[in-house]
Chain A
Amino acid sequence: DAGVIQSPRHEVTEMGQEVTLRCKPISGHDYLFWYRQTMMRGLELLIYFNNNVPIDDSGMPEDRFSAKMPNASFSTLKIQPSEPRDSAVYFCASSFFGGQGGELFFGEGSRLTVL
């Protein structure tokens, strides 16, 4: 049984370019989370969805960041335009019951480098 699948695993791009990260959650999970990992701040919650609807996007750093979930099996995180300070590992996670006592299942992450 497949876990959370993220693509690309690695992305190197130049400042100003658009970046799109993709996530396929575990089938049947109704919550999807996007996290960003940096050395300084650890794992930061960017946004989460319940039944494809964005519930809390207060962690999205700027208007340059946007996330969508057009259906239960696919989500994207887009950065436009990208900046060097966006370099980080971006994780997608899914779960049955959100965070309420429910375990989150993480993908392997997308490592983004913006030059």
Chain B
Amino acid sequence: DQQVKQNSPSLSVQEGRISILNCDYTNSMFDYFLWYKKYPAEGPTFLISISSIKDKNEDGRFTVFLNKSAKHLSLHIVPSQPGDSAVYFCAAIYGNKLVFGAGTILRVKS
């Protein structure tokens, strides 16, 4: 029973273009959402977050959008760079539990 779903296992984007990673959730009790980035042989690292009372949060090239009615969030990376190639995990919080999606592999081609 996956409460956080990332339906695209992988995404390939040209350098300089926009990368859009999507995430859907089923539990309406989630009140905080995060994106983590993971390079091979390393642990995930925090990238950006958004509270359920907001619909957008920006941090440099990274913007997270939240659509509560659709239970959907997305991460936009503009412009994409080769160093952004990694696995991106969507995560949601309820209480003290952080629930992750399965991840999306992003490849940025130069």
Contact = CB atoms under 8 A, between A and B. Distances in A.
Contacts of A43: 44, 89, 91, 100, 103
A31 B93 CA distance: 14
Contacts of A99: 32, 93, 95-98
B46 A104 contact: yes
Name A's interface SS. strand
A100 interface: yes
A108 B32 contact: no
Nearest to A106: B43
B78 interface: no
Nearest to A41: B102
A100 B99 contact: no
Contact of A50 (B41, B49, B96): B96
A37 to B, nearest CB: 8
B32 A100 contact: yes
A98 B41 CA distance: 24
Contact of B32 (A33, A101, A106): A101
A51 B43 CA distance: 23
Interface of B: 2, 6, 32, 34, 41-46, 49, 51, 89, 91, 93, 95-103
Interface of A: 4, 31, 33, 35, 40-45, 48, 50, 55-56, 91, 93, 98-101, 103-109
